[in-house]
Structure 1
Amino acid sequence: MTQQDLQIKTNDGTAKAGLFRPSVASPAKAGVILYMDAFGPRPALHGMAERLANEGYAVLVPDLFYRNAPYGPFDAKTAFVQETTKAALMALVSGTTQAMTISDGAAFLDALAGEGVTGPIGTVGYCMGGARALNAAVAYPDRIKAAASFHGGNLASDAADSPHRKAASIKARLYVGMAGVDRSFPPEQSARLAEALRVAEVDHTIENYAGMAHGWCVPDHSVFDATGAERHWKRLTTFFAETLI
């Protein structure tokens, strides 16, 4: 596995990103954009990207908060507990709109192509990255073949930029893994998303991880669950293996 640091030019500036690849002897079979959670790029997410790279993918981990850099770093276990860091995080999340990340997606895809990753592309997002991974499939249907969300919030909300509203534009196959109890993605949103995807004839799976809390997949999160995380890895790697071919 190899890692390199990229500087990606976007319409709004320059986004830092890490690119993780299989060994030189084993070229990547496809590309993946990993959309971060609210705590930003850090060793925990890079470790997850490395695991995907070892499955044979070129994995891009862009900093979605680059417009506000420098910021943090944040401790995923305590950042939402302490009022000062909670306020800073909420400002970053609310100040980085879905429209901004959708626009950035073109630059992310072009960065992968510029690094020789010309095969099919998948996306995966965690927490705030979940909806962004799905919205990338909405915005770039001819380039993204698979999109996954784990404990993603507001996937079928009342907001105008909720991914379910443009389900008809999606050509990718989708996988949504939701926490058993998650205020950011309650049962009524799950039902709304399922209906929208079915009506749009999108190939999809929505799976409930009973007993898991929002954030269970990410190893430095306060609610990380090792057994649940391994289940997520099995689902994700199978999903990409079946789709990014």
Structure 2
Amino acid sequence: MGEMIEVETLDHDAHFGAYVARPAGTATAAIVVIQEVFGVNAGIRGKCDRLAADGYLAIAPDLFWRIAPGEQLDPDVKPEFERGLQLFGQFDQEAGIRDIEATIRKARALLGGTGKVGCVGYCLGGRLAFMTACRTDIDASVGYYGVGIDGLLGEKHAIARPVMLHVAGEDGFVDKAAQQRMHAGLDDHPRVTIHDYPGEDHGFATEMGNRRSPQAADLADQRTAAFFKENLA
């Protein structure tokens, strides 16, 4: 079981909550887990707990703290799913990246000032993971079914460390044309790896619930585990 802690903003003018899960032994690396539009809910906390079981310090910041602090939504409940989409429309992504950077700094402090920090994000978090790779000094980034990454390709020159993207072939929020643009823009990038999951829909790797597709989720998570093992050592 993890706990909620506070993270100071980059401007040192406020604090926001984050769920942190610690491994049984000494963590030598940390992973920032970036939420979907449903907040730091049971699924995101479960991702952190699994990463802690693998030996990482895992921390999930509440990125909606400015608009809906502490909100936790169940995507299988239609009104809550719609609430998540509403929050996505209100969310300031630039502020979110600053909060992720503050969380990276917090993670490094929790590691005692040594050790690498990666990030993994889902849906909105997948997009933010890509932005984090472009705009911060994160050591490795993974994005699951990130939305709108094809519109961020102008920043790809800034990617200095490894990135892995998991793309759902039948994603209702990332159509075939967007997927093709991602491949056209990133397939030749030396630091980016894209994995496609034909027939899978958005949210296939969620920790729980109706959207989960176990076989594809397990494959993606195995690839992610190997990626972090290689790049956060």
Provide the TM-score with structure 2 as the length reference.
Answer: 0.90
Residues 59-98 of structure 1: matches in 2 within 5 Å? Answer: 59-70=58-69, 72-78=71-77, 81-82=78-79, 85-98=80-93
For 2:44 and 2:16, the matched residues in 1 are separated by: 16
Partner of 2:198: 210
Within the candidate set 146, 150, 159, 1:152 is matched to 146
Aligned residue number for residue 231 of structure 1: 219
State the alpha-carbon separation in 1 of the partners of residues 19 and 32 from structure 2.
10
1:18 Cα deviation after fit:
1.1
> What is the Cα-based RMSD across aligned positions, in Å?
1.9
2:149 is paired with a residue of what secondary structure?
coil
Task: State the match for 1:197 in structure 2.
Answer: 186
Please identify, of 179-188 and 31-40, the stretch whose mean Cα deviation from structure 2 is larger: 179-188
Deviation at 1:218, TM superposition (A): 0.9
For residues 1-245 of structure 1, what are the structure 2 equivalents within 5 Å?
3-10=2-9, 11=11, 13-23=14-24, 26-70=25-69, 72-78=71-77, 81-82=78-79, 85-116=80-111, 118-140=114-136, 143-157=137-151, 162=152, 164-198=153-187, 201-245=189-233
Number of corresponding residues: 230
CA distance in 1, matches of 2:145, 2:155: 20
Output one character per residue of 1:78-117: Cα deviation in whole Å (capped at 9) or x when no partner: 2xx33xx455323311221221111112211121122125
Secondary structure (helix, strand or coil) at the match of 1:6 reads: strand
Q: For 1:70 and 1:52, how far apart are their aligned partners in 2? A: 24
Q: Which runs of 5+ in 2 are unaligned?
A: none
The alpha-carbon distance between structure 1 residues 50 and 130, as it changes in their structure 2 partners (threshold 3 A), is same
Deviation at 1:51, TM superposition (A): 1.0
Task: Please identify runs of 4+ aligned residues in structure 1 that moved more than 6 A.
Answer: none
The AA in structure 1 aligned to 2:89 is S
Unaligned residue ranges in structure 1 (runs of 5+): none
Q: Secondary structure at the match of 2:121?
A: strand
More strand as a share of residues? 1
TM-score, scaled to structure 1:
0.86
Aligned residues with identical type, % of pairs: 26
Tell me how far apart the structure 2 counterparts of residues 19 and 126 of structure 1 sit (CA, whole Å): 17
**Conservation of the 8 A alpha-carbon contact between 1:19 and 1:60:** yes
1:52–1:202: structure 2 CA closer, same or farther, 3 Å change rule? same
Give me the whole-angstrom Cα distance separating, in 2, the residues matched to 1:72 and 1:29: 31
CA contact (8 A) 2:38 2:81 kept: no
Give deviations 1:27-82, integer Å, cap 9, x for gaps: 1121111101111112221111111111111111111101123464322212xx33
Distance 1:145 1:195, change over 3 A: farther
Query: CA offset at residue 119 of structure 1?
Result: 1.0
